[in-house]
Amino acid sequence: MLHSQERSKQTILVVDDDANIRRILATRLSMAGYIVSTAADGSQALTSFRQQAPDLIVLDVMMPELDGYDVCRTLRKESNVPIILLTALANVADRITGLEAGADDYMVKPFSPKELETRIRCILRRLDKVNDDATTSGILEVGSLRIETYTRKVYQNNVPVRLTDMEFNMLKLLVSQAGVCISRLEILEKVWGYNQPSLGDVRIVDVHISRLREKLQALPEQAESIVTVRGKGYIFPRVDS
């Protein structure tokens, strides 16, 4: 049973089959003020998630039996919890596979625990700001798309569209500035909260845009709602009334 003070802390689930990595991250993240639980494999991760409902998951990719990709896909059927993948795979395509499975971010092993802490803090800080929209009504509408910023719900022709928290924040950013091209680096700064994003991180944005497009393609009129401006970024076109 958690004490009342502990309940106010954010909980992180660290999943890795390397006991040394689990120990290091558990120690550092606990010192940073988080409640930390650990799991040594994919099956344990799913059990821990369902029992504890953590605020964020740090998930290793290469694990026996149930790997990080499978865990990520399973979690995405149940929850929008932020997921940061840890991968030892150098191939960019493998990292993209993780993002396409539903991860919000990834870090390549060997990684800096300090950088991981920064990314965790950025993601959780951004997701905490659920009422920061500048509109007084709390509603954004473009064409058939309706975004309720306070309830964090999205409707397309009155049909609910299920988005992860990061996808929601990205869509809200694009729609709130409809007609304006937003660069990938600016999206990383405003959605992920990275103060100094690197060019290597832009693929994170590209994959999330691709996933967002797929979810908005249920209706033909929204199929091209997010337009790529080559060499610059993305734009959500205005719809003239």
Domains by residue range for the chain, with CATH: 4-128 (3.40.50.2300), 139-235 (1.10.10.10)
Cα–Cα distance, 159 to 39 (Å, whole number): 37
Note the pTM of the prediction, 2 decimals. Answer: 0.78
Give the count of beta carbons closer than 10 Å to the beta carbon of residue 64. Answer: 9
Confidence class of residue 144 from pLDDT cuts 50, 70 and 90?
confident
Name the DSSP letter for residue 226: S
Average pLDDT over residues 147-152: 83
Q: What is the tens place of the pLDDT at every residue in 22-38?
A: 999 999 999 999 999 99
47 class by beta-carbon count within 10 Å (0-12 exposed, 13-18 middle, 19+ buried): exposed
Query: What pLDDT score was predicted for residue 171?
Result: 93
Confidence class of residue 194 from pLDDT cuts 50, 70 and 90?
confident
